[in-house]
Amino acid sequence: IHQTFMGPPPVDLAREPREAPHWMRLPIEILVLLCLLVGVIPTLTIGPFLATAVQSVLGDRTPAYSLAIWHGFSLPLLMSAIALVGGVLLYYFFGARLNALPHSPLIGRLKGRRTFEAVLASIVSAARTLHRLLGTRALQVQLRLVLLTAILAGVLPFLALGYSGGTLPIMLVDPAFAALWMLGGASAIAVAWQAKFHRLAALILLGVVGLATCITFVWLSAPDLALTQLLVEIVTLVLLLLGLRWLPQRRADRWADERTPLRVRLRRGRDLLLAVAGGLGMAAISYAMMTRPAPQGISHYFLERAYTGGGGTNVVNVILVDFRAFDTLGEITVLSIVALTVFTLLRRFRPAAESIQQPMQQRLQDAFDDAGEGRKRGD
C-alpha cells in the first residue's frame, strides 16, 4: 500500500497510464459524494426514508433508534482506536523493513493470476465432469432430475424435524366444490395421459383444468384472480394451438401389436412414482400449513388503509392497482411483450400454403369434383 500511494512513480512501462476522462469519473464521484453525505449527516439524508420504511412495516412497534454519528465513548470505539494506533506504531517501526523485502511476507509467493487461472480451470473441469455424468439432451431426463432434487429438498426437513399437522379444526367440504376439484384433477391426469398421442384432446382437457381453477377463485371470493386466470388461460391455449402446427405428426404406437417392453414399463412406473411422491409431498405441506394459524403479517395494514389510502372496498383490487400498481403494470407489460413476441415469431415463420397438406376430407371432395362432369371444385 505504501509503495502504491507513496512510493516513487513507475518507470519503463509499456504504456503510460492516464487518468480516466471526467465524464467517466462523474458517476463514481457522485456515488462517493452520496456515500459521504449519508455517512456524515445520516439524519438529514437517509433518515426520513428509513423512518417511512420501518414504520410501514413495524407500525407502533418501531423501537427507538438514532442515526447520530457520535454515540459517546463506547467499547467498539475503543477497539477501533486501539487498532488504528497499533497499526500506525507497527508501520512506524517495521515499515522500512517491510518495504525493503522483495515480496510480501507469508503470501508473497502466491500469484494472483496463477491462483485465478487454477480456480477457473478447476471450475471448468468440475462442470465438464457433471455434464458428463448428468448431462443429457432428453428433456424427460432433465425434468426427472429437477423433480427428484425438489422432492429430496422437501423431504430432508421432515426427516430432521419430523412432521405433524396443525391444531385448527378441519372444515367440511361442500360436495359441489369437491366435485369441481375431482373434475379438475381427473382432467389434469388425462392431460398427462393424452399429451403424447392426442395433443388437441390434451389441450381441451387443459382448458377444463383452467376453468376449474377460475371457478375455484370465484368460489373463494376472488373474482379478480379468476378474471386474470381466465385471460392467461385463453392466451396460453391460443399460443399452444398456434404452436401445435410446428410439432411433428403424431406417430402410431410402436408397440401397438406387441407387448410393451419391460424397460419402458419400468421407466413409466418410475415416472409415475416420482409424480405421486411430488403430489403427496405438496399435499402434506399444504395440509400442515393450512391447519396452523396464519403468522402475523402486514395484511392488517392493507385492510385498515384500503379505503382511506386507495379509495376502494375491494382490498385485493386496491393492492393490485394502487399499492403495487407499478408491479402490476410491469407484469402486464411483460405478458404483453411475450405474447406479441410469440405471435410475431409464429406468424413470421409459418410454413407456405403450398407446403401444408390438405385434410383428407378436402382431398376426397376435390377428387369427387374433378371426376364428375360439369362440376368444379367447391360446387
Q: Is the pLDDT of residue 216 over 80?
A: yes
pLDDT tens per residue across span 75-133: 888 999 999 999 899 888 887 777 777 776 677 677 778 889 999 999 999 999 988 88
Ranges of H-type helices in the chain? 2-6, 22-40, 42-45, 47-58, 75-100, 112-134, 139-161, 175-194, 199-219, 223-244, 262-290, 299-310, 315-318, 325-348, 360-371
Please give the full DSSP string across 144-207, using - where no structure is assigned.
Answer: HHHHHHHHHHHHHHHHHH-----SSPPPPPPHHHHHHHHHHHHHHHHHHHHTTT-HHHHHHHHH
Helix 199-219 vs helix 223-244: angle between axes, to the nearest 10 degrees? 170
Say which range, 103-112, 188-197, 217-226, has the weakest mean pLDDT: 103-112
| Cell numbers for 347 | 406468424
Say which range, 1-15, 148-162, 352-366, has the weakest mean pLDDT: 352-366
Would you list the domain boundaries of the chain?
22-71, 163-250
Angstrom distance (rounded) from CA 62 to CA 333: 37
pLDDT tens per residue across span 21-58: 889 999 999 999 999 999 888 888 888 888 888 888 88
- Length in residues, the chain: 379
Q: Residues 248, 250, 252, CA angle at the centre, nearest 5°?
A: 140
